[in-house]
Amino acid sequence: MNKRTLNRTVERFRRGDANAFDVIYDATRVDVYYVILNILRDPALAEDVMQDTYMKMIEKLPEYEARGEFKAWLMTLAKNLALNTYNRRKREIAVDYDESAPLFDVIYPDGEKRYHVQALLEKLEPVEREIVIRHALFDEKHRVIAETLGMPLGTVLWKYREAIKKLRKEGGFLDEK
């Protein structure tokens, strides 16, 4: 769905057309979910935060200025809620483990590689991580990522290059596309 159609649908929803919400949801749900999942890395929690995002959208919609880009505004809401949840959980989780217990219940042949990739991605800022994952793993174009995140294309390209430099410096094995 293009920006103009989405903005018209948002205006219909603001005027009370409840069916417009379904259209908005269908047009944005995948992007909202992956923005949240990228931060939280927990599918069940990501779904909960996704619901919170749409509830917050409905609550804050009167404050949204129609001259802006709705999808970028919604992605910002999703990202902020996910970061708040991530930071809250980080403070709440108490680590209590037996040093002799195995770290993983299942051993994958490439388990070390997965752990290495995860550890490398942890070294990136959340926005850098999202850009790298979307481009390197999901094969999204930088232009699409920029539109989704509501960022200039140049900023996305710069952040991607900087993230790849960080990964290489840390001993990563991701090649720049």
In the chain, the amino acid numbered 60 is K
What domains are defined for the chain? 3-92 (1.10.1740.10), 111-169 (1.10.10.10)
Alpha-carbon gap, residue 52 to 55, rounded angstroms: 5
Q: How does residue 176 score in pLDDT terms, banded at 50, 70 and 90?
A: very low
Q: What is the CA radius of gyration of the chain?
A: 19
Alpha-carbon gap, residue 14 to 21, rounded angstroms: 9
Alpha-carbon gap, residue 23 to 57, rounded angstroms: 14
What does the pLDDT look like over 141-174, one tens digit per residue?
A: 888 888 888 888 888 888 988 888 888 887 645 4
What does the pLDDT look like over 105-150, one tens digit per residue?
A: 444 445 555 666 777 788 888 999 889 888 887 778 888 888 888 8
Supply 118's token pair: 């995860």
What does the pLDDT look like over 37-78, one tens digit per residue?
A: 999 988 999 999 999 999 999 999 988 887 778 999 999 999
The backbone torsions φ and ψ at residue 102, rounded to the nearest 5 degrees and listed phi first, read -70, 150
Q: Average pLDDT over the chain, rounded to whole?
A: 81
Residue carrying structure tokens 């417009």: 20
CA torsion through residues 59, 60, 61, 62, sign = positive
